[in-house]
Amino acid sequence: MFIKHFGAGCFTCPGAEKEDIYFGSTIHNVDMAEVLKELNEVVASPKNKRT
């Protein structure tokens, strides 16, 4: 999900540990509401539930 919106460089960027989703969305010109919607869908997905 993060690669889709921010690119693969997100995982090697030194700022990624400190920046929030708002900042990342702003500098990458991405709709933050869409990112949050998808992120919430991923978190709520049954395959992410731990038993």
pLDDT at 13 over 90: no
- This model's pTM is above 0.85: no
What was the pLDDT predicted at 49? 66
- If one counts the domains in the chain, the total is 1
Nearest Cα to 38, choosing from 20, 19, 21?
A: 21
Q: Are 21 and 32 in contact (CB under 8 A)?
A: yes
Reported as half-sphere exposure (CB side, CA atoms, 13 A), residue 48 has a value of 7
- Determine what percent of the chain is predicted with pLDDT higher than 70: 92
Q: Are 6 and 30 in contact (CB under 8 A)?
A: yes
Nearest Cα to 25, choosing from 16, 35, 15?
A: 35
pLDDT tens readout for residues 38-48: 999 988 988 77
- Residue 10's domain comprises 2-48
What was the pLDDT predicted at 51? 53
Binning pLDDT at 50, 70 and 90, where does residue 50 land?
low
